[in-house]
Amino acid sequence: MGERVHKSMLNAEVNLLFYFLSLFLAFFSRKIFLDCLGAEFIGLTGTLGNILGYLNLAELGIGSCISFFLFKPLQSHDRKSIMEIMSAFGYMYRCIGLFILWGGLLVSLFFPLIFGNEELSLRIIYFSYYIFLASSLIGYFINYRQILLSADQKNYVVTAYMQTAGILKTSLQIFLAYRYKNLYIWVSVEFFFDIIACIILNRKIDKTYPWLKTDKRQGKQFLKKYPEILTKTRQIFIHKLKQFITEKSDELFIFAFVSLKMVAYYGNYTMIVAKLSLLFSAVLDSFGAGIGNLIAEGNKQHIIKVFWELNTIMHFVAGIMFFSIYHFLEPFITIWLGSEYVLGRDILLLLCILRYFNASRVIVEVYNHAHGLFADVWAAWTELAINVAITLIAGYFWGISGILLGKVISVGLLVVLWKPYYLFKSGLHMSYKSYWLGVYRNYLVAVASFIITHLILSIIPINAAEGYIPWVLYCIIGMSIYLTINLTLIMLFCKGAKDSILRIKSIITKES
């Protein structure tokens, strides 16, 4: 257990280090790219990325499934099984890579119809698309072995190499965009650094696992030896498919119902929200494997105790994100890019609600995954159907607000209501009522904290949009008030709050 905690903390520390290193660079580069390359081109990169993302749907579930099956042989140092599973993985990824290659080429034939009315030339559209396609294929044909590092709780190695390459790439792109304002150079740098990162990472894998020998040609035979891989993969695939469409298709819907330029405008919001989310997930995601070990031990009392600890922590995180996005995002956009990039307040509110749902759901999802509860594929299809139906109707009439409304309603019904029921009935074997008797307090505390702090801030005479100094001052004052109120209410009312504080203190004490 001590080694697992140490690896989890190391993963968290490396993730946090690169998070802060890349945070400023991301915002600075966004401004430079918008000014030097144009909103249309930035919107194009987001749209092309989503088109390739749909082709990548063929992968969904395989990586998660293989990681699950690698855990046991890694613990028992069964190198033979590891090589067999990795060979099967390599074979599956090669098949997917070939599918994406031919599918990508087929899709590109329709670009004159898809982008015929855009100001950008088809030449730069095709050039960018084929470069992004080639970068995507690297992961399937060459980089697939990095899954072993993640399963072995050595994801910090992948993070260090890939994030370092990303920081160097973005820095060079900033310089070249400012100096030459050339779209072709910007895209070429993307591919060059992907190749360099691939070479370096694979050399590290060879050094870490010198005994690892994979044979993709034998992979099909090994799949017959491990038939449960395909069974679990099919179940996980449906859930991942739903997750991708509901979370990653915003740009395509906005492109369809609004415009390519609004893809870039909305992308400014989602980039900030994503960076804020990464700040917390950089730490919390590092402990996912530990929950799997906890479930395997079978101590139900301890399993429930940890669930409420982590559930309270995630609702605390979700509350911070809701409050921060609602109060601090718009003035920051105004200072950073200009008031013309600010979207409607209704869009902002829906983003906040969606972010709260997605952040607070994490622990239920992780517990379901640890219990192997993937059989509720009907729930995934239902959530997807509700989301798409509402999005197509509401998006047509209300644009971005309608697109977000579809996501909020579908996530609220299936994730907030159904997933905890599934966990408590089929995983924890407890009354669903006991879940809501505990969790309703978290929702009430979050709402009360937000309203009280919002009323206090409304009488503080600071215009956060005047500049960075007033904005920082506004953030400090706002967060101080919110945290004081929120933490006080959590300690008084929320289940598992005191145990959460003790756990955090013990981790900090051990690390120091």
Asked if residue 333 and residue 244 are part of one domain, the reply reads: no
Report yes or no: 147 and 66 within 8 Å, Cβ to Cβ. yes
Task: Establish if 110 belongs to a structural domain.
Answer: yes
Domain-located, residue 29:
no
Distance CA 320, CA 311 (A): 14
Question: Are residues 280 and 170 part of one domain?
Answer: no
Last residue of a domain, one of 191, 225, 248: 248
User: Is 38 part of a structural domain of the chain?
Assistant: no
Decide which of 176 and 425 is more confident: 425
Instruction: Specify whether the CB–CB gap between 136 and 167 falls below 8 A.
Output: no
101, 238: one domain: yes
More confident residue, 55 or 166: 166
Q: Is residue 134 part of a domain?
A: yes
Find, among 189, 206, 197, 99, the residue nearest to 145 by Cα: 206
If asked whether residues 178 and 153 sit together in one domain, one would say: yes
What percent of the chain has pLDDT above 90?
9
Residue 511, pLDDT above cutoff 50 = no
457-484 confidence digits (pLDDT tens): 888 888 888 888 999 999 999 999 999 9
Is 15 contained in some domain?
no
For residue 66, tell me if it sits in a domain.
yes
Same domain, 106 and 157: yes
Residue-wise DSSP of 102-142 = HHHHHHHTTHHHHSTTSSS-HHHHHHHHHHHHHHHHHHHHT
> Residue 308 pLDDT > 80, yes or no?
yes
Claim to verify: residue 199 and residue 305 sit in the same structural domain: no
Which pLDDT band holds residue 182 (cuts at 50, 70, 90)? Answer: confident
Question: Do 239 and 377 reside in the same domain of the chain?
Answer: no
Distance CA 93, CA 140 (A): 5
User: b vs e for 383-421, b when ≥16 Cβ sit within 10 Å of the residue's Cβ?
Assistant: bbebbbebbeebbeebbbbbbbbbbbbbbeebbbeebbe
Q: Is 18 within a domain? A: no
pLDDT of residue 1: 45
161 pLDDT higher than 70 = yes
Structure confidence at residue 307 (pLDDT): 85
- Give the pLDDT confidence of 362-382 residue by residue, as tens digits: 888 888 877 777 788 888 889
Per DSSP, the residues of 341-379 read: G---HHHHHHHHHHHHHHHHTHHHHHHHHHTT----HHH
Question: In terms of domains, do 240 and 275 share one?
Answer: no
Mean pLDDT of 88-105: 85
Distance CA 69, CA 437 (A): 36
| Nearest in space to 376 (alpha carbons), one of 242, 223, 285 | 242
SS3 content of the chain, % helix, strand, coil (to 5): 90, 0, 10
> Which tokens hold the place of 248?
């990653």
Which residue's structure tokens are 């503080």? 460
Same domain, 219 and 151: yes
Residues in CB range of 201: below 8 A, 6 or more apart: 143, 146, 157, 158, 161, 162
Closest CA to 80 of 241, 245, 216, 222: 222
Q: Please compute the mean of the pLDDT values over residues 166-181 and round it to a whole number.
A: 81
Rounded to an integer, the average pLDDT of 78-106 is: 84
Closest CA to 399 of 290, 236, 262: 262
Of 499, 390, 391, which is closest to residue 438 (Cα–Cα)?
A: 499
Taking residues 92-102, what's their average pLDDT?
85
Most confident of 113-117, 496-500, 504-508: 113-117
- Higher pLDDT, residue 47 or 351: 351
CB burial class (10 A; 0-12, 13-18, 19+) of residue 206? exposed
Q: Which of 436, 373, 384, 442 is nearest to 411 (CA)?
A: 384
Question: Which structural domain range is residue 109 located in?
Answer: 49-248
Provide the number of structural domains found in the chain: 2
∠336-340-341 over CA atoms, to 5°? 55
% of the chain beyond a pLDDT of 70 = 82
Instruction: Map residue 498 onto helix, strand or coil.
Output: helix
Domain identity same for 217 and 157: yes
Same domain, 158 and 238: yes
Q: Is the pLDDT of residue 12 over 70?
A: no
- Check whether residue 244 and residue 314 sit in a common domain: no
Tens-digit pLDDT profile for residues 224-270: 777 777 777 777 778 777 777 777 677 778 887 777 778 878 888 88
Q: Per the confidence metrics, is the pTM higher than 0.85?
A: no
Residue 151 lies in a domain: yes
Q: What tokens were used for 317?
A: 């995180």
